[in-house]
Structure 1
Amino acid sequence: MFEPRVALASLSGEADAEWAREGSDHAGAAFLGGIALDDETRAAARKMVARDRSEFLPPDPLSFVEDELDALADVPIRPGVNVRSATLEPVRAVAAACAERDAIVEINAHCRQAEMCAVGCGEALLRDTDRLCEYVAAADEAGAAVSVKVRAEVSGVDLTTTAREVQSAGADAIHVDAMDTESVVGDVVDAAPDLFVIANNGVRGPESVREYLQYGADAVSIGRPSTDERVRRRVHGAVEEWFGEVGTA
């Protein structure tokens, strides 16, 4: 899906094209966003901004996504766009824009902010597997590569079931925030062998990289430290070392 197998995970209100360009020295993919696409999620985002959260709120989300992706046309990194929407049509539209630019559309079933959950996004979407699969299928039908961002340790959610279901719905990747349960990555790998599994949470250097890759992850992603060149270099070096060892084993 991307090389090197290091991704930069979306950062609320910060992960834009310039951020991806700066991180392209040691990463193979960068997930822009998250982007609130429709009226309900944009209203939720405004409420979050009012309490000092950072959010992208461009006048036209689709045009914003297209412009940001176009700004990366000359950058050696595969872009993705992490999206939140209470309705399907905006997801289809962004997925089509991503398909035209060889970008990944990432369905956000991860956000735990109360305002987003109240409109059926983030963790609320993670708890509704049938609806999540509708989003995945819509994005897949638009021709885009589809990732689903999920979080471990959510009450009532079995990520192995989620992984199997989104795989069947047409997802290409699952981006797992392992929280404090790193072994869940191995469970997801076993449950959905056709998914490209990106492991996230606490990725800082060789120890964390090797732990996730030993569980079978196909790649790792860097969250908040993605703006730190030293962390990117350490993670990239550990990933390249691991796959070099695997390739010569």
Structure 2
Amino acid sequence: MESIEVLAPMAGITDGNFCKKMIPYGFDMLTIGGYNVDDATIAAGHSIIQRGRPEFNIKKENILPTIQEQAKIIKGSWDGIVSVNLRSTSPETIIEISKLPEIDVVEINAHCRQPEITEIGCGQALLYDLDKLHDFTKNVVKGAKSKVSVKIRANIENVDDIGASKVIENAGADYLHVDAMKPGYNHADHDIIRFIKENTEIFLIGNNSIRDLKSAQLMFSAGADGISMARITLKENIPFNLGEI
């Protein structure tokens, strides 16, 4: 498969208009979200907002039309891949969103570490229960009309990164999106990307601390099939074009 460069999700920020601004930088995939899409995650999102953290604040009945509207904003001027990052306690809502014609990829969020999300068994809490992670992913893959990605966070205490990666691959996901967080460092853990690549065959998207051409190339050199960027995109200008890689 060819390499892919992704705009990673940032809750409360990456809507359709934000993503449109990224088109000139050469992304292959733009990811809206992350969105809370069922009763439990929407309630958790309200609590997160109350303590001052940005979140999308969308009523459950408006989730589908909102996501469709945001995807249309992108699709109206671009023919690349539109992904949506979703936080849900059940596969059903993710499957429903996958049926929107504007959505090319649904991404299961097994990454969020906000306590309101993890306390309900969502986000990175999925990584502590590999059977649940497998069944959740497999059910989404079975029912989805789009491709499926799973985003995880690496180097969480008492989490088996390789085991989680294999579970996601065995469940049939198309992409594994890894935040290669390295606690205490201001750069990504390229070793974990290398280990995952050596132990799986799934399309691997590497994320974390990609802020310039050198850090992007290091992620590819570690074995990533694609890369994703998030916080650097908040600046007025990304300091390189992805076509240079």
TM-score (norm 2): 0.90
Could you say which residue in structure 2 is the equivalent of 1:108?
A: 109
CA contact (8 A) 2:41 2:89 kept: yes
Could you say which residue in structure 1 is the equivalent of 2:34?
A: 34
- Residue of structure 2 aligned with 1:186, choices 174, 184, 194: 194
- 1:197 Cα deviation after fit: 0.8
CA contact (8 A) 1:95 1:143 kept: yes
**AA in 1 matched with 2:70:** E
Moved more, 105-114 or 84-93: 84-93
Q: 1:25-174 alignment to 2 at 5 Å?
A: 25-26=24-25, 27-59=27-59, 60-74=62-76, 75-97=78-100, 100-141=101-142, 142-174=144-176
**AA in 1 matched with 2:217:** R
- 1:134 Cα deviation after fit: 2.3
**AA in 2 matched with 1:172:** D
- 1:101 Cα deviation after fit: 2.9
**AA in 2 matched with 1:190:** E
Q: 1:221-236 alignment to 2 at 5 Å?
A: 221-228=228-235, 230-231=237-238, 233-234=239-240, 236=242
Q: Determine helix, strand or coil for the equivalent of 1:199.
A: strand
TM-score (norm 1): 0.88
Encode CA deviations 1:207-248: one digit per residue, 9 max, x unaligned.
2112111111011111111233532x5151442xxxxxxxxx
CA contact (8 A) 2:103 2:146 kept: yes
Structure 1 regions of 5+ residues with no counterpart? 240-249
**AA in 1 matched with 2:85:** N
CA contact (8 A) 2:154 2:192 kept: yes
CA contact (8 A) 1:203 1:235 kept: no
- 1:102 Cα deviation after fit: 4.9
- 1:84 Cα deviation after fit: 0.4
User: How many percent of aligned residue pairs carry the same amino acid?
Assistant: 31
Could you say which residue in structure 2 is the equivalent of 1:245?
A: none
Separation in 1, partners of 2:37, 2:104: 17
CA contact (8 A) 1:2 1:78 kept: no
Structure 1 96/131 Cα, relative in aligned 2: closer, same or farther at 3 Å? farther
CA contact (8 A) 1:28 1:76 kept: no
- 1:135 Cα deviation after fit: 2.5
- Residue of structure 2 aligned with 1:200, choices 186, 194, 207: 207
Q: Determine helix, strand or coil for the equivalent of 2:79.
A: coil
**AA in 2 matched with 1:214:** S
Separation in 1, partners of 2:223, 2:236: 26
CA contact (8 A) 2:32 2:83 kept: yes
Compute the RMSD of aligned alpha carbons. Answer: 1.7
Encode CA deviations 1:99-128: one digit per residue, 9 max, x unaligned.
x33511000000110000001111101222
Residue-pair matches, total: 234
CA contact (8 A) 2:205 2:225 kept: yes
